[in-house]
Amino acid sequence: MGKEIQILEDVTVRFAGDSGDGMQLTGSQFTNTTAIFGNDLSTLPDYPAEIRAPAGTLYGVSGFQLHFGSTEIKSPGDSPDVLIAMNPAALKVNLKDLKSNAIIIVNTNAFDQKNLKLAQYEVNPLEDDSLKGYTVIPVALTQLTANALEGTQLSNKEIGRSKNFFALGLMYWLYNRPIEATLAWIDDKFKNKPEILEGNKKALLAGYYYGENTELFTTRYQVEPAKLEKGFYRNVSGNEAVAIGMVAAAIKANLPLFLGSYPITPASEILHELSRYKSYGVKTFQAEDEIGAICASIGASFAGSLALTTTSGPGLALKTEAIGLAVITELPLVIVNVQRGGPSTGLPTKTEQADLLQSMFGRNGEAPVVVLAASTPADCFEMAYEASRIALKFMIPVILLTDGYLANGSEPWKIPATDQLKDISVPFRTEKEGFYPYLRDENLSRPWAIPGTPGLEHRIGGLEKANIYGTVSYDPDNHEVMCKLRTEKISKVVNDIPDLEVTGDEDAELLVVGWGGTYGSIADAVNRVRKQGHKVAQAHFKYLNPFPKNAGEVLKRYKKVLVPELNLGQLSHLIRSEFLIEVEQLNKIKGLPFKAVEVEKKIIETLGGKNV
């Protein structure tokens, strides 16, 4: 008997298991296939901090959440419709997040006494009433995978590790996804390991046909492709988008790209990604530490490269003095800070908007820099390109803030045509006549004269320079002039960036303001409350220093301003000090992005209504 097909507008799925169960790989493959199918989507990978936590423990659970649909998807979803739980710990950690009547597919083979004890279950939740209200589908994933791979050359351990492909095949069947892309990926990934290649393909197909043949499932689900703007798309994570954006900027600027970096979670993937672009003239340098990484990048900038350094919050702290060096030498430099939970080592695999104030003020002396923030994984491309443009045009360091959610999350990205990208070509100084290293143009930018240009020899370094001439100067009046010039140059950037845009109701009483990776959750929340009849508007800052020219006028237009942030109020602090207006705060520092419902409740509360 055929299975019923139910049409859905959107679905949120979460894969969860031990860090060694391949949940990130499984979620990534499901995501890539869903993108190829044509759905809009947003993802939220969630890693444990330990490289390999003890199997079966609560703090070792790894998860991957995917929200996909036939309409525009802005966030990775609030509560999963489906949970694939590979063991009791995965069930326990994620149960609180599920929708009522959510589907729970559990690997029954993992619910033995040992794993139940590790997950701190006194009784088996599959045998009592604790899962009442959910649709529980018991599947012996481990045993079914072993049956499918019987007779192969794989060891018992390798067979056990293949159960994620069985689960992936089952989910492909359940949501009517094509499996050809994953089969091709397996062929390429394991081409030098034929036994593993054969085993993974068998497990994937076994899972797919198990869904078709078992009586556990009476319904399949169909999510139609989304009506996306016409163009070429690829699925992209924030870290990938940063890397591609920097390569595009280097090509359009006709400069070699140099990355000086030291591995740090969650920024390391940018280093890995850029190392693949050697044929585009990209040079990647893994330094011995954060200080060496940024100093090498400053040297590359002096030598005429588009220079980049990447890090996270603790690394940004170590780079502080060298950022000041880039400020005083007035060399272009892009600093990407993929924020994570702090302080100190903090929550290395979790997201947080922790470093806005550090980026604004965390340097000795008067050392202003431009600060930008990406709002979505795909927007990381645009903002990396924009950071490069501003750095090159104004001869300044630019900090680009992303975060762990943006870095590891993904969404469809419409690949722009090269002629759509702004011209950022660089006029190196070559004329000897009338050259001084600190002459300035209309933007207060000094000339970029690379070493080896005859007659343009000049001194750089951390000591204060004489205005125009560039010699070392201890003159107090000159120091004040140079500090003011460097500050004024940052201020001039305001004339080169777009105004702050406002969406929503023109006659709104409340403006919801965000920055960085909170965009999607805020947008979903604002849309929900507007559908309920409330008058609400939204504005999102991507330019944080300087603020857009119209920012003060926009903020003062509304009776109430609400600022959701994944910190204790850093943008709120800046708005109060810059524009002298009071704001309502919504703050969360749990290492996780906002759920749209959390913002929705605060909006209703701020408007004086009841929480929904």
Task: Tell me how far CA of residue 431 lies from CA of 392, 417, 448, 457, in angstroms.
Answer: 19, 34, 11, 12
Question: What does the alpha-carbon distance between residue 464 and residue 474 come to, in Å, rounded to a whole number?
Answer: 7
Q: In the prediction, which pLDDT does 612 show?
A: 44
Burial category of 157 from C-beta neighbours within 10 Å (exposed 0-12, middle 13-18, buried 19 and up): exposed
Pairing verdict, β 397-403 and 370-373: parallel
Token pair 């909006």: residue:
603
Closest CA to 426 of 450, 404, 442, 403: 450
Closest CA to 428 of 306, 334, 322: 306
Judge whether 235-420 and 502-606 match in fold: yes
H or E element, residue 65: strand 61-69
Pairing verdict, β 233-237 and 410-414: antiparallel
Report residues of the chain scoring pLDDT below 50: 612
Query: Which CATH number is correct for 4-222, 3.40.50.300, 3.40.920.10, 3.30.2010.20, 1.10.10.10?
Result: 3.40.920.10
Q: In the prediction, which pLDDT does 424 show?
A: 96
Q: In the prediction, which pLDDT does 305 show?
A: 98
Strand ranges across the sheet with 257-261: 282-286, 257-261, 306-311, 333-339, 397-403, 370-373, 543-545
Closest CA to 605 of 510, 539, 472, 515: 510
What does the block give as tokens for 194? 């034929």
Q: What are the b/e assignments for 463-486, b being 16+ CB within 10 Å?
A: ebbbbeebeebeeeebbeebbeeb
In sequence order, which residues have a C-beta less than 8 Å from that of residue 265 and are 6 or more positions away?
A: 312, 340, 348, 349
Burial category of 260 from C-beta neighbours within 10 Å (exposed 0-12, middle 13-18, buried 19 and up): buried
Using DSSP's 3-state secondary structure scheme, residue 116 falls into helix
Closest CA to 461 of 437, 442, 478, 440: 437
Number of helices (H) and strands (E) in the chain: give both, helices first: 21, 22
Token pair 């192969």: residue:
152
Token pair 């070509």: residue:
425
Q: How many residues does the chain have?
A: 612
Query: Which CATH number is correct for 502-606, 3.40.50.2300, 3.40.50.920, 3.30.70.100, 3.40.50.150?
Result: 3.40.50.920
Question: What does the alpha-carbon distance between residue 557 and residue 549 come to, in Å, rounded to a whole number?
Answer: 14
Burial category of 40 from C-beta neighbours within 10 Å (exposed 0-12, middle 13-18, buried 19 and up): buried
- pLDDT (tens digit, 9 = 90+) per residue, 378-390? 999 999 999 999 9
Q: What are the b/e assignments for 403-434, b being 16+ CB within 10 Å?
A: bbbbbbbbbbbeeeeeeebeebeeeeeeeeee
Architecture of the domain defined by 235-420:
3-Layer(aba) Sandwich (3.40)
Q: In the prediction, which pLDDT does 476 show?
A: 98
Task: Tell me how far CA of residue 322 lies from CA of 76, 384, 518, in angstroms.
Answer: 37, 20, 30
Token pair 């360091």: residue:
397
Locate the domains of the chain by residue range.
4-222, 235-420, 502-606
Residue type, 7: I
Closest CA to 528 of 605, 599, 593: 599
Burial category of 163 from C-beta neighbours within 10 Å (exposed 0-12, middle 13-18, buried 19 and up): buried
